[in-house]
């Protein structure tokens, strides 16, 4: 029973940290968050990468200021300043 409680606490902590990263509320600088989400390392975030990181389609549409279907470093960093 004690092991179950410890495992539950560990899993809950991991989920909270992952959620904070995806929502941009972690203490990591935006450039580090961007690199983590940019899974194909092309220097921009696709909608799929953004969604896989926990973002929403609505949020992506609002952040994609130039409408090219990607978030560049500038768009992503500006969004982090608003939170």
The domain segmentation of the chain, as residue ranges, is 2-82
Angle between helices 30-37 and 73-82 (to 10 degrees): 130
CB contact at 8 A, 14 and 6 = no
- What CATH architecture does domain 2-82 belong to? Orthogonal Bundle (1.10)
More confident position, 31 or 79: 31
Q: How many CA atoms lie within 13 A of 43 on its CB side?
A: 0
Q: How high does pLDDT run on average in the chain?
A: 77
How confident is the model at residue 14, as a pLDDT?
43
pLDDT of residue 18: 47
DSSP 71: E
- Convert the pLDDT of each residue in 7-47 to its tens digit: 444 444 444 444 445 455 556 787 899 999 999 999 999 99
- Global model pTM greater than 0.75: no
């Amino acid at each position: 029973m004690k092991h179950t409680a410890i495992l539950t606490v560990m899993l809950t902590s991991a989920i909270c940290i992952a959620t904070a990263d995806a929502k941009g509320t972690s203490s990591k600088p935006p450039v580090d968050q961007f690199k983590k989400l940019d899974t194909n390392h092309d220097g921009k975030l696709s909608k799929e990468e953004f969604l896989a990181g926990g973002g929403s389609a609505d949020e992506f549409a609002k952040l994609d200021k130039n409408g090219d279907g990607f978030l560049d470093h500038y768009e992503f960093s500006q969004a982090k300043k608003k939170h």
